[in-house]
Amino acid sequence: MKIRTYRRKRKVRSSMALLFGIATASVLALLIVLSGMASTGRESENELYEEVAEPLFSAEELSWFDDSFTSFLLQQRFNGSVLVARKGEVIYQRAFGFANFRNNTPLTTDTPFQLASISKTFTAAAILMLHHDSIIHIDQAVKTYIPEFPYPQMTVRHLLNHTSGIQNYMWLAERYWKQPYPPSNEDILRLFIRYPRPVDFAAGTRFAYSNTGYAFLALIVERVSGMTFARFMHEYFFFPLEMNNTFVFEPRNPQLAREDRAFGFRPVSRGFALIPDVVHDGVSGDKGIYSSVSDLYKWDRSIAMESLLPGHIWELAFAPAVLRNERTVNYGLGWRLQEFLDGRIVHHPGRWNGFRTSFKRFLDGDATL
């Protein structure tokens, strides 16, 4: 049954032992390890939460963080924004360089960036919200919600954890899309129907990272809610969390685009060249969400405080996928899974047309980068 309205009021409830950074590729991938508070002399985590008035870090410690991070990032010629926090306290927050190299617009920590695949954490959360409210079920076939979907064996969960075997929509768009405007998620569905593609493997038997799966997850959100994906995300995520610098980019509606957003560039012999929108930019869910580090911190706190989704739903999201042969995969529902120094990390990187992004949440220490 297709549901054309989806309306609800949601109430949003509004130490230092080791720290290091690692630079990779042309921009930066930075890993932060914030260990337990044993060295600070505090006796327990419970007491730590009760001492609301006492900051986690002294002014001297915060100054050390600031000097160390700033020196490291400047050495790497980093152009971007960084935020590091632990247990609700921002340790470091700074922007370096330019949002737009054409006019030297400076970056701030409120500048929206193309999140690339970090967008998948939001798309998965939208699906899990609908699942939690019994609008959909993640173990139902995708055809239940998109009747024309040409792969009856695939479930919503298969799309969420990249075990569907569906092929890359980008190839279809590049080969068959001839219109002067970029295709939407609905258009991608029509391409799959008009130009049938075999699956790479039977659903549930292997893991293969798939942007296509998340494009169809965003389409499920649109079909069952009767809203565009952009409107749904604004109404049920960005607005309640006061993520005022976060939006879904819609190239068919350029008048809605934020001019103060960051733009993707690539280095050339005499500076930087703007990377224009491409045919794939009309599709959202796998990418397409813009946000700032300050807004992503609100997203992080909403997870920690369980303000939009309850804890058992986040545990579902952070559980590894299980294949038919019972082998597990280090990917949950919209999140990559990692362990470091016996601590659990959920994270997602992103890369798209001049942007590289990383969001890491250290579950056991309530720290985020």
Active-site residue list: 117
Task: Residue 23: count other Cβ atoms within 10 Å of its Cβ.
Answer: 15
- Cβ neighbours for 346, distance < 8 A, ≥ 6 positions apart: 317, 318, 332, 335, 336, 337, 338, 360, 361, 363
Q: Which helix (H) or strand (E) holds 216?
A: helix 211-225
d(C-alpha 365, C-alpha 369), whole Å: 12
CB 294 within 8 A of CB 102: no
- What are the phi and psi torsion angles at 157 (to 5°)? -60, -40
Closest CA to 162 of 126, 214, 198, 199: 214
The 3-class secondary structure across 283-305, one letter per residue, is CCCCCCEEECHHHHHHHHHHHHH
Give how far Cα 304 sits from Cα of 131, 168, 362, Å.
Answer: 20, 34, 10
